[in-house]
Structure 1
Amino acid sequence: MSARREPGRAIVIGAGIAGLATGALLARDGWSVTIVEGRDDIGGRAGSWEKDGFRFDTGPSWYLMPEVFEHFFALLGTSAEAELELAPLDPAYRVYSGSAGAPVDVRSGRAHATALFDAIEPGAGAALDAYLDSAGDAYGLAVNRFLYDTYESTAGLRDPAVVRRLPTLAPLLTRSLASYIDRRFTDRRLRQILGYPAVFLGGSPYGVPSLYHLMSHLDLDEGVLYPRGGFTEVIRAIERLARAEGVEIMTGADVVQIETTDAAATGIRLADGTRHAAELVVSTADLHHTETALLPRELQSYPESWWTKRTPSPGALLVLLGVEGALPQLAHHTLLFAEDWKANFDDIFGTPSRIPDPASLYVCRPSATDPSVAPTGSENLFVLVPIPADPTLGRGGEDGDGDPRIEAAADHVIAQIAARCGIPDLADRIVVRRTIAPGDFAADLHAWRGNALGLAHTLGQSAVFRPRNASKKVSGLLYAGASALPGIGLPMCLISAELVLKRLRGDRTPGPLPEPDRARV
């Protein structure tokens, strides 16, 4: 343990999930907290949009790692059960692979998953059993040893329990996820079911290390949940808790400078010229924007030259559709995979890059579970297409008025869903349409290169190699969110908030903080 920093005034930049969670935890620990958000609405990437009785989540839509949410709520004296209404999904998701063949419904639970794999590829059930044993073991190690570590010291990495695992861990860190899967399974559909979580990590199965096979433990062993009302309810719950702790939240407050004196953070300056003093500043804004736009060059820990050697997550084309009539062809979560999967990822991450066509894509139909997100007799579709992180591809818009290249890509995607899923009149039934593209992510969220998720989880950008949660040059300036430790996704952002608290408390242990009812005396 190192010295604890005594609470004082804190400014948190950004009211996405990381900012709200950081504010709530700091306030509960005695800090006087103000959260400043440049946009008029909170939520950040986990935003919400409504039109004509349809309500769309504009970001995350998979509720995974429920124990991370539960732990976070426990730190604030409550529970997920008290704050959210969670519905298990069955099937967990549906998969359309290639251009032909019936879809595959994936159900969570070891018995269901192994039976499915055996039915598709004889003998694959036993292989999956071993795969999931390894995934569960890796997941437990990640949660207990890696994800909650601030890496202020190497003590966690030198722990004998970790050192003993090095012969097993080393190959998982040096081989790609795709190679790990392909050695064990032959059928293309099975390979895609196990490889698609790489996209949730901001990468491709050909680029992320095979340690991330741990992701399959989440959907195949544990299960997939949905918070009724949508993911905006998760944001509202954390906002509610933050306000209950006394946090002030200012929206429409665009930060243009982190102010410093003698290389120590002293507050922020807003676009309207007003200043807010603080002894601590926590930025949950995009890290590239924080470093290169809000600090002078001499105080940047991660200057522009650092970013030229880093890999962003893919960009995203989001297509929000309100559709008249039922769409039973789609599950709550549906994945459509291109036949030539590797070429699809090469289009996104290669040089030169391009929008894939046909694309591998994801469709969320929350109205399958939640009637509140669409008018009676209609369906709500959220379509995500991974595309290059390139804001020059353009911006989206409503009712087809986005940039021509973006709208043309959206038209192709709608036609692809219609043809592959057997919905020939899909385009004719659309009554609400909005597109969101890399240009929007760059302009609205200051996302580096218009990426959709954050820094990709390549080996060189994971765990100890990811940007730490404190400035190297400015004391009293900390970071949280998808660009910093531990990584991408709502659960990771909640953990990043806890890492801020751990650093301020001087806690260098590798695991989660003790929950209040288990706290040591």
Structure 2
Amino acid sequence: MKNDDKNALQAAHTHHVVVIGGGFSGLATAGLLAASGHKVTVLEQQQHLGGRAGRLVREGFTFDTGPSWYLMPEVIEHWFGLMGTSTDQALELVRLDPGYRIWFGQDGGSLDLSTGEEADAAFESLSPGAGAALADYRDEARESYGLALQHFLYDDFSSAKTFLNPQLLKLLPKLAPLLAGSLEKHVAKRFGDPRLRQILGYPAVFLGSSPQRTPALYHLMSHLDLTQGVQYPLGGFAQLVDAMARICREAGVEIITDARVEGIDVGVAAGTPRVEAVRWVNTATTGTKRHEVKADVVVGAADLHHIETELLPKKFRSHSASSWKRRDPGPSAVLVCLGVRGKLPQLNHHNLLFTRDWGENFARIHEGRDLEPETSIYVCMPSHTDPSVAPVGDENLFILVPAPALPSWGSGGPDGTGSPKVEEVANAAIDQLAAWAGIADLRERIVVRQSYGPEDFVNNVNAWRGGALGLAHTLGQSAFFRPANRNPKVRGLHYVGSSVRPGIGIPMCMISAELVAKRINGIRTPGPFALDAAEPAPLREQAGS
């Protein structure tokens, strides 16, 4: 970063900021605020940083137990640029080609998908005319992605001026059907083959929803994988977490792990409630000694429901109990990490297995019913790309089974010792993968096994109702309908992460960090902070919270 850019990051006044949660949003916020000149302390309840981006190391296998799709690279690169470095310096990124493999039932065959014209050709191979239709669809997705970046993602919707923007008002006739209609119907108008509809509808799962309940605007997701392409950081996503943590510490951030926050203290001065301190306990030590950190500003980078219902006095909560009853936590998941002896040439890095009972599959998840023995699942085999995550000659598998948000299903455990329900789902997923991919001896070759269930998301990251990703991206929980990044009742209390605007996913969490960092530094102009000296609203413009 140029000297002018470094100077632009300096705040006019400094605060002591306490960030609750050391996931992507917490680290991203902490880094930006430290670079702005603030004193920043991060409190993370787990032993390792990363939040939902967990890690597991066993017997030579290294597993990511959370995010595994590296998308929207320009957003991640933007944060590194603001911190004076780059992803090229911090990570070794590999472009995946093909991006992923799709399986259409045990006897339905598979399809590899790359980007651009190769993706068009793959669609054409399944349905004549679908290649040209996909080319048009990708163009539409690219345009919608640009609109989202310009008008929705980098705006916290804290000002009515957003809705009076002449450019946005001009676009309303085009945006209205994309916001009001479903992704499923949007895709169905353009593609008749149910397999192609599944491919273009499945990104809704990564938004914590389903094609039937996700606004059509999110067809923009297809721009990410079918035009931009999919990348992977060698060493896994733990490498991204570690790189961000290192950069934060270099910027002066104090990071404390094994720190379980017990409360946010709010005082009232001149009739205005504002944050005063954060209370926490060190879970790595014996005894119950409690600590307190004074704070001018608190950033909640943990689950919003947990922060408001467990850490704040009731009168200062910005969301009522009745409002939570109307919210959708999104799906939970059963995760299975498998270390497998020998190679699995049948699989690619990313693999999607789609069942034919598409609508019923999603209905079971949303309605909290049991899953069928065969259900739509995602399988990641990073050892296809990265030899460091498994012993030589072996494979590393991560299976994700979208499941109802029911903590009553229980938690997972090592080598089949999780709750009966979790292990039942895990066993079914292993057998399904073996049958569909033609790996008859898969079970016999497993040497490491670790499962996780909905209750683990509650215990590990305080996820509301065990949601695996965050609040679902339904119409009522997207854009300005999503919970805000600031508590209107308490001065100095801000929120980042997958529970709030703009939403789910690593890039979205990093954008939420920038929204809050800008607000704490007095910036009200929507849009990303630019790295060039021509930026009209540098972060140092005004300090305040």
Q: 1:495 to 1:8 in 2, by over 3 A?
A: same
Q: Give 2:530's aligned residue.
A: 514
SS in 2 for 1:397: coil
For 1:97 and 1:119, the matched residues in 2 are separated by 14
Provide, for residues 125-177 of structure 1, a one-character-per-residue CA deviation record: whole Å limited to 9, x for no partner: 12112211111100001111110101111323322221111111111111110
Q: Is the 8 A contact 2:106 2:437 kept in 1?
A: no
Q: In 2, are the aligned partners of 1:390 and 1:438 still within 8 Å (CA)?
A: yes
Alpha carbon RMSD of aligned pairs, Å? 1.2
C-alpha deviations, 1:246-282, integer Å up to 9, x for none?
0000011110000110121011111332111010110
* Residue number in structure 2 paired with 1:377: 393
Gaps of 5+ in 2: 1-10, 282-288, 539-545
Query: Residue in 2 aligned with 1:304?
Result: 321
**Do the aligned partners of 2:418 and 2:451 also contact (CA within 8 Å) in 1?**
yes
Cα displacement (A) at 1:5: 7.8
- Quote the offset at 1:41 in angstroms: 1.3
Query: 2:477 aligns to what?
Result: 461
1:364 aligns with: 380
Question: Which residue, 399, 406, 413 being the options, matches 2:422?
Answer: 406
> Is 2:393 the partner of 1:387?
no
The aligned residue for residue 24 of structure 2 is 17
Equivalence for 1:265: 275
Correspondence 1:40-55 to 2 at 5 A = 40-55=47-62
Q: Deviations over 1:387-406 (max 9, x none)?
A: 00110011100000000111
Post-superposition CA distance 1:313-347 (Å, at most 9, x none): 10010000000000111100000011111110011
Q: 2:98 matched to 1:88?
A: no
1:76 to 2:83 alignment: yes
Distance 1:445 1:466 in 2: 20
Q: Distance in 2 between matches of 1:98 and 1:399?
A: 27
Contact 2:267–2:274 (Cα < 8 Å) also in 1: yes
Residue in 1 aligned with 2:168? Answer: 162
- CA distance in structure 2 between the aligned counterparts of 1:460 and 1:34, rounded to whole angstroms: 34
Letter in 2 for 1:301: S
CA distance in 2, matches of 1:469, 1:174: 24
Show the counterpart of 1:63: 70
Q: CA deviation at 1:119?
A: 1.6
| Distance (whole Å) between structure 1 residues aligned to residue 165 and residue 344 of structure 2 | 52
User: Is the partner of 2:160 in helix, strand or coil?
Assistant: coil
**2:106 aligns with one of 76, 88, 99:** 99
Counterpart selection for 1:281 from 279, 284, 298:
298
| SS of corresponding position for 1:165 | helix
Counterpart secondary structure, 2:200: helix
Contact 2:485 2:495 survives alignment (8 Å): yes
* Aligned ranges 1:127-142 → 2 under 5 Å: 127-142=133-148
Match of 1:340 among 348, 354, 357: 357
Q: Please say which of residues 120-129 and 49-58 is displaced more in the overlay.
A: 120-129
**Deviation, structure 1 residue 508:** 2.2
Partner of 2:193: 187
Q: Is the counterpart of residue 478 in structure 1 residue 491 in structure 2? A: no
1:506: how far off? 2.4
State how many pairs are aligned. 516
Quick check: 1:424 aligned with 2:434?
no
Amino acid at match of 2:434: A
Is the CA contact (8 Å cut-off) linking 1:396 and 1:436 kept in structure 2? Answer: yes
Q: CA deviation at 1:516?
A: 4.9
SS in 2 for 1:407: helix
Distance 1:178 1:152 in 2: 31
Kept in 2: contact 1:20–1:242 (CA 8 A):
yes
Amino acid in structure 1 at the alignment position of 2:83: L
Partner Cα separation in structure 2 for residue 507 and residue 130 of structure 1: 38
- Mean alpha-carbon deviation: is it higher for 169-178 or for 264-273? 264-273
Instruction: Tell me which residue corresponds to 2:7.
Output: none
Q: Aligned residue for 1:441?
A: 457
Q: Distance in 2 between matches of 1:416 and 1:473?
A: 50
Tell me how far 1:186 sits from its aligned partner: 1.2
Name the CA distance, whole Å, in 1 between partners of 2:325 and 2:250. 42
Counterpart of 2:274, as a letter, is: A
Q: 1:6, 1:258 → 2: CA distance?
A: 23
CA 1:435–1:5: 2 relative to 1, 3 Å: farther
Judged with a 3 Å threshold, the aligned counterparts in structure 2 of structure 1 residues 308 and 27 are, in CA distance, closer, same or farther, namely same
CA distance, structure 1, for counterparts of residue 494 and residue 51 of structure 2: 19
Greater alpha carbon shift after TM alignment, 258-267 vs 507-516: 507-516
Q: Could you tell me which amino acid in structure 2 is paired with residue 38 of structure 1?
A: Q
CA positional deviation for 1:518: 5.1
Identity %: 53
The answer on whether the counterparts of 2:44 and 2:256 sit within 8 Å (CA) in structure 1 is yes
Contact 2:106 2:435 (8 Å CA) reproduced: no
State the match for 1:326 in structure 2. 343
* Amino acid of the structure 2 residue aligned with 1:399: D
TM-score w.r.t. the length of structure 1 is: 0.97
Aligned ranges 1:108-257 → 2 under 5 Å:
108=115, 110-257=116-263
What SS class does the counterpart of residue 384 from structure 1 fall into?
strand
**1:187 shift after superposition:** 1.1
> 2:311 is matched with which residue?
294
Helix, strand or coil at the partner of 1:274: strand
How far did residue 243 of structure 1 move?
Answer: 0.3
Which AA in structure 2 matches 1:471? Answer: N
Query: How far 1:354 moved relative to its partner?
Result: 2.1
| Cα displacement (A) at 1:517 | 5.3
